[in-house]
Amino acid sequence: MSLEDDLTEVKRRLEELARSVIQLERNLVRQREGQPVPMAVGRPDGLVTISDTPYDSSLWTDSDDEGLGARDRRAP
């Protein structure tokens, strides 16, 4: 992508964010007034559903704790 394309995409996303904030503010006012708040329909692009089921613990066997180093060694 060119710089111009990148800037156009940023502008589009900022406008989308501004519209979302305005809608959120309207929903909050409605909620405070006791009016029904419309629910969002559909799912925005880029969102991924993450399951609540636990991961298989064998996935983490022999893994280091990120940022803490290996379990069997001391930090310098």
| φ, ψ at 69 (rounded to 5°) | 85, -175
- Decide if 71 contacts 64 (C-beta within 8 A): yes
Report the chain (76 residues): mean pLDDT per 10 consecutive residues: 88 93 89 79 70 83 63 63
pLDDT score at 31: 86
pTM greater than 0.75 (yes/no)? no
- The CA distances from residue 74 to 14, 66, 67, 71, in Å, are 46, 14, 13, 8
